[in-house]
Homo-oligomer: A and B are copies of this chain.
């Protein structure tokens, strides 16, 4: 259970849409790039709804057993241990499967009966199935920029979810976020957001992903910690984003405009 209100700055009607899906317990898919606030939004909603939030970061080796549970050997006995999904289904938590497309395909299959009228979870190893707690809700995230032919959610799986699109916040909102999270003054926060806006236009020139809000916060934090503005931007934004000298120079040029060297 999240006790303190997590800071979240709404951009549009995302709270209303989530509440509508919640009222019918429809499963929700959060679509959008990393570092744009999907996790924050969900923490905020869990706090609002006063439901526990169980997050599972999915990866290539995550199997349905990791989600549902497994037998453990304890001395002479074999005891069953619920996985995070089973726990959420039993206790009525919100279960958040982050980047589920990264997990092994058996995980997709295991959530299917939880996403339609059945709302139950078959536990094949126990030979039973359990009905979801009335407050159980399933949320997944999905980053459209990363999907490939080899790794994508099946269209039929996607259609089992209500899809909410996320993107980076508008300049004014993003400035307020940088100020609050990094503890930076307004003028430099504004400059950071304005420079990021320009830098994001370089995407078509070879950057794999645009500057995230999180990177702006890191740059701000380094400034507050005493680094020169341009050095802070280089360390927190440019170096992590590209290994290419020309792209680095192009990005540096942009940030230099907003943070002229003394």
Contact = CB atoms under 8 A, between A and B. Distances in A.
Interface of A: 13, 16-17, 19-21, 23-24, 26, 29, 31, 33-35, 39, 55-64, 66, 71-78, 81-84, 87, 99, 102, 104-106, 108-110, 112-113, 116-117, 122, 124, 127, 143-144, 146-147, 154-156, 158-165, 181, 207-209, 211-212, 214-215, 218, 221-222, 224-227, 231-232, 235-236, 238-241, 243
Contact of A17 (B58, B74, B112, B227): B227
10 contacts: A19-B225, A31-B239, A56-B124, A57-B122, A59-B64, A60-B104, A83-B124, A155-B241, A160-B214, A164-B235
Given A34-B156, A102-B109, A146-B154, 4 more contacts: A20-B226, A35-B156, A59-B108, A61-B63
A243 B60 contact: no
Contacts of A214: 116, 159-160
A108 to B, nearest CB: 7
A225 B20 contact: yes
A156 B31 contact: no
Nearest to A182: B24
Nearest to A108: B59
A210 to B, nearest CB: 9
Contacts of A224: 24
What 10 pairs between A and B have smallest CB-CB spacing? A163-B239, A34-B156, A155-B209, A59-B106, A20-B225, A144-B243, A59-B109, A75-B76, A163-B240, A155-B208
Given A78-B74, A156-B143, A225 B24 contact: yes
Contacts of A57: 109-110, 112-113, 122
